[in-house]
Amino acid sequence: MSLRRPIILLALFCLTAVGLGLHDWPVDSGQAQAFADRALNDYGLALTVRGPATLTPLPLPKLTFERVRITGDRAGPPLVDEGRLGIDLDPISLLAGRAAAGGLHLAGGVLSGRADDWSGIRARLAERARSGATAHPTRLTVSGARIAGDGTARDIDLDVSWPAWSASAEGTARLTWRGVPTGITLAHVRPNDVALGRRSPITGAVTWPEGSLTVDGTVVTAVSGAAWPILAGQMRVETRSLPDSLAWVGLNVPLSPLAGAFSLAGLFETADRSVSWTRLRLGLGQNVLEGAGAVVLGPGPAPRLSVQATLAAEALNLAPLVDDAARLFGHEPVPLALAPVTRGDLDLRLSAAAGQVGLIQVQDLAASVLVRDAALEIAVNRARVEDGLIKGRVTLASGTDPAETEMRLQGSLDRVDLGGLLGGIGGSRWLVGPTQGQFNFEARAPDTVTLLARLGGRVALSMAGGAITGLDLIDVVHRNGAVAAGSLARRNGRTAIERAAVSLRFADGIGEFVEAGLLGPGVGASVHGHVSVPERRLDIRGSLALRSPADPSRGLLFEVSGPWTALAARTAAHVEVPDPTAAGEAAPEAFGPPVSQALTAGAQGLPVNARAHAP
């Protein structure tokens, strides 16, 4: 007989056997549950089956249960509910008459999100590790599950592999966390060491559309009462939008709405509800800072975050923040409620060898930012600008009405070159010389427009040994207010200043010139008037007088008014004015009588209408 027929018959028999082996065969649910219970009992789990059970013999024996509930014990809260559970049975253990799970596969179901509910499993794993037991499921998969509660985590797909010959496990997970697709990977974790409270290596990564977080270090099980395990090693975080990523995680970091692209890398260590970096490198937009810091998460269901850091940079660009602040004080009101930016605590110390604040270049910058509940303080402890020193502090605090904010601003200048400062912000270097002075402002308002309208305070500035460039005031007086043709374009005029001073008192956003004037070798001037911050307008009148002994009575009256961006200067006809040196050079009031009196007495109207530089 030919061998072909037996081979065909054998092949048909094998195919039939395989087909039957791959088929799901119904089994008695009670007996199957009792058998599976013996496999799960080693891990402190109890199984309740409320649906049918099937057995699939090939390729490896597998029991499948519909509508299962898994608890830590028969009376405990459900760890898994309404899921479809598949248990791979270890064939070697079956031959020995024992029930052992080679793999667990859960489809669908609701998982407990309470860490305390899973404490029994962790304790049983520790017992098995201490007893020297080596048998364990080598594969755990979850598909389409969700966390019980408000649907924060859903569409959970999990795959954990722990080979029988290895002490390390690895796993991957995909889920939707608060509506955002999220991926998680873990590797090199030794489960027995973790269960026993020993230090285990760990490599992990979390990715989401806006960024990623990677960790390479060690992990130790959290001590009793602690919320987190203890991690240490290298960490790197990157996100294209820090505010969006923090909102997704559910954290509120102080001033985070002002940030954009963000990165952090460095050595870290966690403790109970805190993370500290002994060395870190921080990226904020184009800025790179190095230093140390810590983050502490407060207690309660809505914990308050506290951030502390000391950072330094070779170069710091604060221009974007200045631009944002400038937009706040536009013509449209912006609410000043502090709650959106003070939902956490911040203690930040900053230093930079060089920096840019708007268009101003600074060196040797030392600053601090302090945020507390409903309070914000930004201090420039030291900043060298144009060979001088600037200090300042702004404090914002909520009052009895949370919608209103109280602002206090104070600062000082010491020998700052005004010419360089004006040129740095894009203006004309028409006034040069070392300037010193002080300023302080305060106001309380619900929005930016009202804040400017309620502004009060004082400004006092003085200069010694400066100059007005591009304009010769002595020549202007001799020409009865006219400017030599082409002199402004050529900027070849110059007025030396022996001393100049200006003092303004602000009330309700209007600054009144309490005293203002200058003395030069050949000319003196005094100014009176006011400046409106809400309307961005300047209205001043002044007088110029020659100090030449040969022509002491020759003088000129002028007026400058209009919006800050389009000032217009007008001069009056020649009038007789007192000698500006008659009262000495000690006070600006000695430069001449009030301009309003002189105009009324000696020059009805201002016949000359011309744009020009104002002193």
**Cβ atoms of residues 298 and 343 within 8 Å:** no
**Cβ atoms of residues 418 and 435 within 8 Å:** yes
Q: pTM to 2 decimals?
A: 0.78
Q: Is 465 helix (H, G, I), strand (E, B) or coil?
A: strand
For 484-503, the pLDDT digits (tens) are: 665 555 566 788 899 999 99
What letter does residue 339 receive in the DSSP assignment?
A: G
Helices (H) and strands (E) in the chain, counts: 12, 33
Helix (H) or strand (E) segment spanning residue 208: strand 200-208
Q: Is 15 exposed, middle or buried (0-12, 13-18, 19+ CB in 10 A)?
A: exposed
Domain ranges of the chain: 21-180, 455-609
- Is the Cα dihedral 379, 381, 384, 389 positive or negative? positive
Partners of 14 in the β-ladder: none
pLDDT confidence band for 319 (50 / 70 / 90) = confident
Instruction: Compute CA distances 233 → 183, 278, 308, 366, whole Å.
Output: 21, 11, 20, 30
461 CB-side CA count, 13 A: 20
Name the most confidently modeled range: 201-215, 302-316, 470-484, 521-535.
201-215
pLDDT of residue 386: 81
Name the most confidently modeled range: 440-449, 468-477, 543-552, 571-580.
440-449
Q: Whole-angstrom Cα distance, residue 226 to residue 483?
A: 79
What letter does residue 8 receive in the DSSP assignment?
A: H
**Cβ atoms of residues 242 and 264 within 8 Å:** no
For 338-348, the pLDDT digits (tens) are: 887 888 899 99
Assess whether pLDDT exceeds 60 at residue 251: yes
Instruction: Compute CA distances 408 → 225, 333, 442, 549, whole Å.
Output: 44, 19, 4, 48
202 CB-side CA count, 13 A: 26
Q: Whole-angstrom Cα distance, residue 98 to residue 94?
A: 5
Assess whether pLDDT exceeds 50 at residue 600: no
Name the most confidently modeled range: 49-58, 237-246, 455-464.
455-464
pLDDT confidence band for 470 (50 / 70 / 90) = confident
Q: Is 582 helix (H, G, I), strand (E, B) or coil?
A: coil
The overall average pLDDT reported for the chain is 81
pLDDT of residue 594: 37
Q: Whole-angstrom Cα distance, residue 69 to residue 298?
A: 35
Q: How many residues does the chain have?
A: 615
Q: Is 210 helix (H, G, I), strand (E, B) or coil?
A: coil
CA 424 to chain CA centroid, nearest Å: 27
Q: Cis ω on the peptide bond leading into residue 59 (within 30° of 0)?
A: yes
**Cβ atoms of residues 75 and 109 within 8 Å:** no
CA 24 to chain CA centroid, nearest Å: 56
**Cβ atoms of residues 351 and 374 within 8 Å:** no
Instruction: Compute CA distances 596 → 26, 64, 111, 605, 611, whole Å.
Output: 107, 99, 83, 11, 20
pLDDT of residue 580: 42
Backbone angles phi, psi at 56, to 5 degrees: -115, 110
The stretch 530-544 carries a mean pLDDT of: 92
Q: Whole-angstrom Cα distance, residue 548 to residue 474?
A: 10
Q: Whole-angstrom Cα distance, residue 306 to residue 344?
A: 6
pLDDT confidence band for 31 (50 / 70 / 90) = confident
pLDDT confidence band for 225 (50 / 70 / 90) = low
pLDDT of residue 613: 35
Q: Is 278 exposed, middle or buried (0-12, 13-18, 19+ CB in 10 A)?
A: exposed
Q: Is 490 exposed, middle or buried (0-12, 13-18, 19+ CB in 10 A)?
A: exposed
For 274-286, the pLDDT digits (tens) are: 999 999 999 988 8
Assess whether pLDDT exceeds 70 at residue 311: yes
CA 532 to chain CA centroid, nearest Å: 34
Q: Is 408 exposed, middle or buried (0-12, 13-18, 19+ CB in 10 A)?
A: middle
**Cβ atoms of residues 452 and 463 within 8 Å:** no
**Cβ atoms of residues 345 and 254 within 8 Å:** yes
Partners of 232 in the β-ladder: 218, 269
Strands 139-147 and 101-111: parallel
Assess whether pLDDT exceeds 90 at residue 383: yes
